[in-house]
Amino acid sequence: MTDRSVIDSAQVLLDTRCRCKLNAPWTQFMADTFADAGDHLVDIRDLHFSRGERLLFDGVELSIRRGEVTAIMGPSGTGKTTLLKLIGGQLQPDRGTIHVEGQHVAGLSTRGLYKLRRRMGMLFQSGALFTDLSVFDNVAFPLREHTDLPEPLIRDLVLLKLQAVGLRGARDLMPAQLSGGMARRVALARAIALDPTMVMYDEPFTGQDPISMGVLVDLIRRLNDALGLSSIIVSHDVAETARIADRIHVLHGGRIVESGTPGALYESQSEWVRQFMHGLPDGPVPFHYPAALGFDEDLMSQPRSSRGAW
Amino acid sequence: MVNGFQRLGARALAIAERFGRAFLFLLRALAGMPALVLRPGLVVQQLYSVGVLSLVIIVVSGVFVGMVLGLQGYTTLLNFGAEQSLGVLVALSIVRELGPVVTALLFAGRAGSALAAEIGLMKSTEQLSGMEMMAVDPMNRVIAPRLLAGFLAMPLLAAIFSFLAILGSYVIGVGLLGVDAGAFWGQMQDAVEFREDILNGVIKSVVFGFVASWIAVFEGYDAEPTSEGVSRATTRTVVYTALAVLGLDFVLTAVMFG
């Protein structure tokens, strides 16, 4: 039962028992309260995380809504993939909390974490297919590990998932025989094999040709809507991500600097966000990497003797 | 001077930390082994790749080591007029020392390096992370079966090596050099004791198998997820296993026969 139907049912119940009509502001208040508490699949509060000396997250605050395609965008090296690993419990935050489906991820036991992960799918940048298993066996892997389903039923389920990503005909191929785009589609079929509630995509469009890119963009949106999933896409491919995302959060300097719909972000007041969204070569992020000397001065200075690594 | 001590201390701490990590890793892998009773197929599959696929190198090396030992032993014993004792010399050298040690070194080169490279590549291509995200523990699914297969395969390979080496020396000694077949087998039967020689040899091969498999799977799992990291892990597996086997062989020999 969805939260909205809970509210509707509550209103009908009160209407009939109290024989009094709730006024509109009160129902709106109830709706907002339920929406805040229940519509967020992932809640990240005051997240701090460092890798070695480098501070990656400095107080990230982020909520991801159910049923939406949410994109987390930002330049390379801002820790987008690390954020997915923190949500999946593969890394522990230094400070702050991450709640997924209301569960505090860092506080879960191994058993609890694995139970939660059965409801999460993850598409890795490399696909992460098992190279010694065929396409069919890769998709069947989570089903065989976590269920006692008979083999004929597993076969049907695998063929359904492969049909959904358009690769039923490739079931007998080995991962080495697949193109990059096909490998990601197989990985996507595997990620949805256990019918998760959310799927995380790590740079799904990187290095794809236009056709594969179009297929993946379309698949992510269609699967999200058809299966009632919630999707989190980590990417720096602005155009493709903006085409399918309901909401984008832009990560920069260890914080979420702006959130909103793709349209709103294209029109952002922030120069940095505009430069990122429009891919402008110069702006707050300068074209030139900072140098100790000016260009003329550098040309006139004595070259340092250096021996090459070779 | 102070900097030198600092570096030395830091290095010692890093080594101690690595040993600790390897030990905890072993405990986690051992904890995953009981569950393998329910999935023997995983172990059988690894026994094939670790054991059966190592057979060629073990068989060929065993035969040649035996033949060389037969030839060298015969020429040396001939000086003392004791060439009929070739069977004893060969059997004791092989069962006590050469069988377990050479098999372990070959095992490290063939199976150990393959294990480390396979696991390291699985890590660098995110297959292990993918497994974790599918709520499957790689320690139970990947590491434990490989470790157990290594434990089981190594003593069997050492037994095959020893058998074929003795056979090789028989072919050279009796077939080519004219040692009496009865003296070859009879003296061997008299001189080689089951507990003192054969059992100690088996214990050595079990210990070497344990150490070689542990080093291989740990180095693979602990590898940096880059091509250079995997290459370093593979090299380290062979070098560390060789050093550990030779060092442990001395210790075990001193305890067993000293």
Is residue B81 over pLDDT 90? no
Summarize pLDDT for B17-30 with one digit per residue, the tens. Answer: 999 999 999 999 99
The pLDDT confidence band at residue A17, using thresholds 50, 70 and 90, is: very low
B214 within domain boundaries: yes
Q: According to the model, what pLDDT value does residue A23 have?
A: 39
Q: According to the model, what pLDDT value does residue A279 have?
A: 82
The verdict on a CB contact (< 8 Å) between B126 and A129 is no
The pLDDT confidence band at residue B70, using thresholds 50, 70 and 90, is: very high
Q: According to the model, what pLDDT value does residue A286 have?
A: 67
B86 within domain boundaries: yes
Taking alpha carbons only, the member of B72, B97, B91 closest to residue B163 is: B91
The verdict on a CB contact (< 8 Å) between A131 and B127 is yes
The pLDDT confidence band at residue B12, using thresholds 50, 70 and 90, is: very high
Taking alpha carbons only, the member of A282, A242, A299 closest to residue A266 is: A242
B6 within domain boundaries: no
CB neighbour burial string for B21-53, b if at least 16 within 10 angstroms, e if fewer:
ebeebbeebeebbeebeeeeebbeebbebbbee
A163-169 CB contacts, 8 Å cutoff, 24+ apart: A164/A189, A164/A192, A164/A223, A165/A189, A165/A219, A166/A215, A166/A219, A167/A135
Question: Which residue on chain B is closest to A91 by alpha carbon?
Answer: B129
Is residue A25 over pLDDT 90? no
Specify burial of residue A302 (Cβ count, 10 A radius: 0-12, 13-18, 19+).
exposed
Domain that holds residue B67: 32-257
The pLDDT confidence band at residue A30, using thresholds 50, 70 and 90, is: very low
Q: According to the model, what pLDDT value does residue B212 have?
A: 95
Q: According to the model, what pLDDT value does residue B216 have?
A: 95
Over range A120-127, report the average pLDDT.
87
Over range B202-227, report the average pLDDT.
94
Over range A43-48, report the average pLDDT.
92
Tell which of B133, B136, B137 to mutate to test the A interface (max A CBs under 10 Å).
B133
Summarize pLDDT for A89-105 with one digit per residue, the tens. Answer: 999 999 999 999 889 99
Taking alpha carbons only, the member of B212, B204, B201, B101 closest to residue B146 is: B212
> What gap in Å lies between CA A42 and CA A247, rounded to an integer?
14
Average pLDDT, chain B: 93
Summarize pLDDT for A265-303 with one digit per residue, the tens. Answer: 888 888 888 888 888 877 777 677 778 888 888 888 877
Return the minimum-mean-pLDDT range out of A163-172, B1-10, B175-184: B1-10
Taking alpha carbons only, the member of B55, B20, B25 closest to residue B216 is: B25
Is residue A28 over pLDDT 90? no
Nearest to A118 among B121, B129, B135 (CB): B135
Percent of chain B whose predicted confidence (pLDDT) is above 90: 85
Nearest to A90 among B121, B132, B134 (CB): B132
Percent of chain A whose predicted confidence (pLDDT) is above 90: 34
B23 within domain boundaries: no
> What gap in Å lies between CA B209 and CA B112, rounded to an integer?
10
Q: Using alpha carbons only, what angle is made at residue B211 by residues B205 and B215, rounded to the nearest 5 degrees?
A: 145
Question: Which residue on chain A is closest to B125 by alpha carbon?
Answer: A128
Summarize pLDDT for B90-120 with one digit per residue, the tens. Answer: 999 999 999 999 999 999 999 999 999 999 9
Q: How far is B79 from chain A (nearest CA, A)?
A: 57
pTM: 0.81
The pLDDT confidence band at residue A85, using thresholds 50, 70 and 90, is: very high
Tell which of A130, A190, A194, A203 to mutate to test the B interface (max B CBs under 10 Å).
A130
Q: According to the model, what pLDDT value does residue B157 have?
A: 96
Q: According to the model, what pLDDT value does residue A5 have?
A: 44
B3 within domain boundaries: no
Nearest to B125 among A118, A128, A145 (CB): A128
The pLDDT confidence band at residue A304, using thresholds 50, 70 and 90, is: low
B14 within domain boundaries: no
B1 within domain boundaries: no
> What gap in Å lies between CA B109 and CA B116, rounded to an integer?
11
ipTM entry:
0.78
The pLDDT confidence band at residue B67, using thresholds 50, 70 and 90, is: very high
Domain count along chain B: 1
CB neighbour burial string for B89-112, b if at least 16 within 10 angstroms, e if fewer:
bbbbbbbbebbbbbbbbbbbbbbb
Over range A257-264, report the average pLDDT.
88
B19 within domain boundaries: no
Q: According to the model, what pLDDT value does residue A307 have?
A: 57
